[in-house]
Amino acid sequence: MEQKRQKGARLIGALIILLIVLFFTIEFFIRETQEFSPTSFTNLLLSSLQIIVLLLFLILLFVLGRNLVKLYLERKHKVVGAHFKTKLVFFFIGLSLIPTLLLFLFASDLISRNIERWFQTPFDRIMADTKEVADGFYQSTSDITYHYAQQLAETIRRQKLAALENRLLLRDFIWSKLTEYQLDEIGIYLEDEELFTYLNPNLPLEDYRPIQANMIQRAHLGEIFESIEPMGQGEMVRRGVSLTIPEMGHIFVATGKFIPQSYAQKIKNISGYIQRYRLLMIQRNPMKAFYIITLLFVTLLIVFAASWIGFHLAKSITVPIEKLALATKEVSKGNLDVRVEDPASDEIGTLIESFNQMIADLRESQKNIALKTAELENRRHYIETILYNITTGVITLNEVGNIVTINPSAREMLGLPRNNQPGLSYLEILKDSRYHEICRYIDWGLKNRTRLSDKEVNIIVNGQTVTLALSLIPLRSADNTFSGLIVVLDNLTQLIQAQKMAAWKEVAQRVAHEIKNPLTPIQLSAERILKTLQKENLIKFESIEEGAKTILQEARSIKSLVDEFSNFARLPKIQLQPHDLHQTITQVVSLFRGIFNEIEFELNLADDVPSPLMIDPEQIKRVLINLFDNAIEAMNKKGKISLRTRFDKSQNRVIIEVADNGPGIPEEDKNKLFLPYFSTKRKGTGLGLAIVHQIVKEHNGTISVDDNIPNGAKFIIQLPT
């Protein structure tokens, strides 16, 4: 569409240029051929001019009409800038049309009146008077020249200046008279030979022509000498006088006066003008029409040019404004990739360039903001990832005590459900009586707005007593005003258990040391008594023999107890190596199946468990043996033991579950189960599960106990892959 529009505009422009060239060509022929062309030819040319003017008028009408219709449609459809464009177009049309029409009317009337007055001027009289003035001027110049020639001839004759001895005087005399009489030429001739001639040095001497000898001879014969000859751009008027001097012959004196312009040519030109005037008298009306048509053509050109300039100026102003308005709408919608393309180089071009620069700056700022936002989002995600994965519980409160964030560790420590939504008050979330001490500390922190560190709090979660370390950190905004509180919770339960285990390890080491010291001499003494009694073969000492045996038996029991303490107290050196976990489990189960016939072993080994795993197979066997021994004793050597393995891909851990259908473990004993010297059996040392816990811990794993549904206990071991 744009190409068709440009093609149409070029076609109209080419047609207008062609009409202008044709018009002024015809106008040139009319002006240049008025002296020799017939009236019919002039009328034909005038008719051609009228057709050209009519075509130009129709083109102007078409262009104006089409653009006005477009303006009307743009206003009707409320196109941006249409009202402003309409005002500009009508302003330029009015600005050009009104004064141009007034000037046309005034000029056409002026032409008509002046042509009429021009043809009323008496040019014949002017010509006759002009010719008389010119003839009188030539005659006057000729008479003056002849008068001076006579005076010079009379003086030469009277003073005998032509004599040979007076020739120098004659030269001086002639030169002085050339200036005195204001003549341009004085020549002295003897017979038909030139003695000398003086000329005005300001004459065009390159065009000078001397007097012909035959004319001088005729002057000697009594003929009047008079000549007008062209010289450069003017004419030389000459008169001469011949006189006879005895003993010398005929002397001819010639004088000349230079007329700068050719009056004869001027008279001829005036005659030509009069002739043309008489011809124009016949073509007065066509000539008047010619000037009116020319004026009308120029008027149409001015109106067309002004209208065209108006349309293009309006377009050059409104189109960039329209583009700017549309671009502004796009920017308001969030599109910063828009760019106004316009070749304007004036203030509007500066405005467009500034707009594009502004959009580019906004786009760059948006990119920077997006980068900063992404960076902040990454940082927020990083912080959230840390908060949601650290073992420390973190709760953030605003200044009025509403929960902003709470991480999973805090939920797990406090035993809160996962569906608790932030935004609620901490009093509503922690309304249970077990959180009373925590709420008291938080209330103190909100009121005092100061830091509180490492306050130990005990709460019961899932039937187990959990020891927490509570710290409060106030939040400050940029202007150092209080904006909230951070509640930090650390689970000290395992730490306390580890401390207790460390204490028991130290106790076990000391007990083992203290027990081992008397055991050796007791054992040696008992053996010596037995040997002595056997050597003497004294039957009466049967009671002594029985006592010695009892000493040995009890000493072995004490030594076994010491070995258990030593095994627990030592720091086990785990030898991790790639091994098949299921193979180890199968070996242990096979061993127990061969011994306990009334125990049913159920295995459920998952296929997706990675193999091999980095474990110490001997230590894992010891763990399973301890768990099986405890389960068999709890079930009085009759029941069912289930062992199940599975792989948790989300945490990358292998889970081993050992369950029995025995009486189970009381809720109050679950927290103490893995502590040293705690046992529910009458003859138990309380070190077996403590050793199991230690081995699993050395494998970077965890072990916990839970109820087996419907009855019994279930031990859950988690090992990293």
Instruction: Encode pLDDT of 202-236 as tens digits.
Output: 888 888 888 888 888 888 888 888 888 888 878 88
pLDDT at residue 643, rounded to an integer: 93
The closest alpha carbon to 465, from 493, 497, 489, belongs to 493
pLDDT in tens, 308-355: 776 677 666 666 777 777 777 777 777 777 777 666 556 666 777 777
Residue 294, pLDDT above cutoff 70: yes
Q: How far is CA 452 from CA 46, 117, 469, 484, 488, in A?
A: 112, 118, 11, 14, 10
Residue 690, pLDDT above cutoff 90: no
pLDDT in tens, 512-549: 655 654 565 566 566 667 666 666 655 545 656 666 66
- Please compute the mean of the pLDDT values over residues 120-133 and round it to a whole number: 64
- Please compute the mean of the pLDDT values over residues 583-594 and round it to a whole number: 84
pLDDT at residue 36, rounded to an integer: 39
Q: How far is CA 714 from CA 239, 642, 679, 681, in A?
A: 162, 9, 17, 18
Helix axis angle for 39-76 and 2-32, nearest 10°, is 160
Alpha-carbon dihedral angle through residues 425, 431, 437, 439, given to the nearest 10 degrees:
10
For domain 131-265, say whether CATH 3.40.50.1220 is its number.
Answer: no
Q: How confident is the model at residue 644 (pLDDT cuts 50, 70, 90)?
A: very high
Q: Are strands 599-604 and 639-648 parallel, antiparallel or unpaired?
A: parallel
Residue 602, pLDDT above cutoff 60: yes
- What are φ and ψ of residue 75, in 5° steps? -65, -40
- The CA-based diameter of the chain, rounded to the nearest angstrom, is 227
Q: Do 131-265 and 577-720 share a fold?
A: no
- The answer to whether the pTM exceeds 0.85 is no
pLDDT in tens, 3-49: 555 565 667 667 777 777 776 776 666 666 654 344 556 666 667 77
- Show me where the domains of the chain are located: 2-120+283-327, 131-265, 390-491, 497-569, 577-720
Considering 259-273, 600-614, 677-691, the range whose residues carry the highest mean pLDDT is 600-614
Q: How many C-alpha atoms does 561 have within 13 Å on its Cβ side?
A: 19
CATH C-level class of 577-720: alpha beta
**Sequence-ordered list of residues with C-beta below 8 angstroms from that of 412, at least 6 positions apart, any chain:** 393
Q: How far is CA 339 from CA 165, 211, 316, 324, 330, in A?
A: 108, 91, 17, 9, 10
Q: For residue 698, what are the β-bridge partners?
A: none
pLDDT at residue 571, rounded to an integer: 45
CATH topology of domain 390-491: Beta-Lactamase (3.30.450)
